[in-house]
Homo-oligomer: A and B are copies of this chain.
Amino acid sequence: MNPSRMRAARRAAEIEPFRVMDVLARAHALEAAGRRVVHMEIGEPDFTAPDAVVEAGVRALRDGRTAYTAALGLPALREAIAAHYARLFGLQLDPARVALTAGASGGLLLTLAMIVNPGDEILVPDPGYPGYRHFVRAFEGVPRPLALSAQSGYQPTLDMVRAAWTARTRGLLLGSPSNPTGTVVDPAKLQRIAQFVAERGGMLIADEIYQGLVYGAPPATALGLPGEVVLVNSFSKYFCMTGWRLGWVVLPSARVRDFEKLAQHFFICAPSAAQHAALAAFAPETLSVLEERRREFERRRDFLVPALERAGLAVPARPSGAFYVYADCAKFGLEATDFALALLEEAGVAATPGLDFGSHGTLRSLRFAYTRSRADLEDAVARIARFCAERR
């Protein structure tokens, strides 16, 4: 026994790996052996950044605009983001409340570092993005899962939040559109939840990373809701800039200084060239490229959801955003993790087991990402249908 192994921080033991990585590793092994795999496990657009963004990045690199920026980011980009809220929602936002971060991950990490004392509880959605609970744990807080089911569209309700709130609760984290379910919280319900959280002196942390990717309704935001609201967002998904590692956070004015101080040390700044490039993300011609991509995601959803249902996988809550379908495989008599591995092994389709997203109903659930071309999705659906047919 190596005694030093006993001395890892407890958080390192308790923070779980992404189980999808096991799927991915096996998928790569199959591909290396000559098998074709359709990758539906990846939460990353198949589109790269729009040309105007790429070229703005190229100019930044060649002009040497690659020094550290201020910890909160380039003033011009903070202003551009504030203007984005004005354009989308007609809401005035002081650019001083906008902080650029190393992706939404960096924004969540800093937000929780800013408010979580040891033992503090944060309510998190279950199923939900795994980072939520791990970031709370990282700072010695206690993530309290809200058990979400299809009946509430996999979004928290006021009753749930009220029932889970204790004297130790510091806030509520939610994602809308949700990863893994693609569902969107009802604005009137969110308003009531925000009111409750405000009355309790808590913080509402709204992960809006999939904000632009909604179908059938305009984008929504928690900006302007009562109480202390922090918005977490990113250029990764709608703007197709994943590996650029650039996100942003909108903070209550009174929190900006604490956030800045932590950001100075944890990150120094978000990547500079990505910040310069992102200035081109809000140009009308870029936004029209992104809108066309959004419509393509919508067409994929419209194809995929009924196709999975025909194959025998239930989709208990219709997704109206992000690029995920959260499907139920219970009737096939396999735990979802085993179902995912068998689906990969036998049919060459990679999906994410629900267990990555929490513990409530996740053993019967799988996440399929439609971040592949229509042709790939058609191929995948045929494979899934055959696989399911053999198991009825």
Asked if A138 contacts B139 (CB within 8 A), the reply is: yes
A113–B17 touching, CB < 8 Å: no
From residue A259, how far is it (CB to closest CB) to chain B in Å? 8
Near B by CB (< 8 A), chain A positions 22-68 give: 44, 48-49, 54, 57-58, 61-62, 64-68
Residue A93, interface by CB 8 Å: no
Inter-subunit contact A243/B269 (CB<8 Å): yes
Q: Is the CB of A245 within 8 A of B268?
A: yes
Q: A357 in the interface, Cβ–Cβ < 8 Å?
A: no
Task: Contact check, A273 vs B243: say whether CB atoms are below 8 A apart.
Answer: yes
A268, B64: Cα distance in complex, Å: 26
Interface contact A5-B242, CB-CB below 8 Å = no
Q: Is the CB of B68 within 8 A of A61?
A: no
A177, B110: Cα distance in complex, Å: 29
Q: Which residues of B are found within 8 Å of A3, using beta-carbon distances?
A: 201
Q: Let me know if A89 is at the binding interface, CB within 8 A.
A: no
Query: Does A130 belong to the interface (CB within 8 Å)?
Result: yes
Asked if A118 contacts B140 (CB within 8 A), the reply is yes
Closest CB-CB distance, A66 to chain B, in whole Å? Answer: 4
Q: Which residues of B contact A228 (CB under 8 A)?
A: 4
Contacting chain B: which of A6-14, A156-164, A331-339? A6-14
Collect the chain B residues with CB atoms within 8 Å of residue A49's CB: 61, 64, 66
Asked if residues A12 and B272 are in contact (CB atoms below 8 Å), the reply is no
Q: Which bracket fits the contact residues of A?
A: 35 or more
The reply to whether the CB of A296 lies closer than 8 angstroms to some CB of chain B is no
**Which residues of chain B are within 8 angstroms of A120 by Cβ–Cβ distance?**
9
The A67-124 residues at the B interface (CB cut-off 8 A) are 67-69, 102-103, 105-106, 109, 113-118, 120
- CA gap between A62 and B51 in the complex, in Å: 8
Knowing A48-B66, A228-B4 touch, does A138 contact B12 (C-beta < 8 A)? no
Q: Which residue of B lies closest to A272 (CB)?
A: B243
Q: Is B258 a contact of A270 with CB atoms below 8 Å? A: no
Contacts A66-B49, A242-B67, A268-B245 given; indicate if A4 touches B203 (C-beta within 8 A). yes
Residues of B within 8 A of A102 (CB): 102, 106, 245, 267
Nearest residue, chain B, Cβ from A268: B105
**Are A5 and B254 CB-contacts (below 8 A) given A267-B106, A269-B243?**
yes
Residues of B contacting A270 in the complex (Cβ-Cβ under 8 angstroms):
245
Asked whether A268 and B103 contact (CB < 8 A) given A170-B7, A228-B4, the answer is yes
CB distance from A272 to the nearest CB of B (A): 3
Chain B residues lying within 8 Å of A264, measured Cβ to Cβ, are 17-18, 21
Instruction: Decide if B245 touches A4 in the complex (CB within 8 Å).
Output: no
A146 contacts B by Cβ under 8 Å: no
Q: A7-B115, A17-B260, A21-B264 are in contact. List 10 more A-B contacts (CB 8 A).
A: A8-B114, A9-B116, A12-B258, A15-B262, A48-B67, A61-B61, A105-B267, A118-B118, A130-B265, A243-B271
Partner-B contacts on A (CB < 8 A): 2-5, 7-13, 15-18, 21, 44, 48-49, 54, 57-58, 61-62, 64-69, 102-103, 105-106, 109, 113-118, 120, 130-131, 134-135, 138-140, 170, 201, 203, 228, 241-245, 252, 254-255, 258, 260-262, 264-274, 277
Q: List 9 A-B contacts (CB under 8 A).
A: A3-B201, A11-B117, A15-B265, A44-B67, A66-B243, A67-B242, A68-B243, A244-B272, A245-B270
**7 nearest CB pairs, A to B:** A243-B272, A48-B64, A12-B258, A66-B243, A134-B265, A245-B271, A17-B261
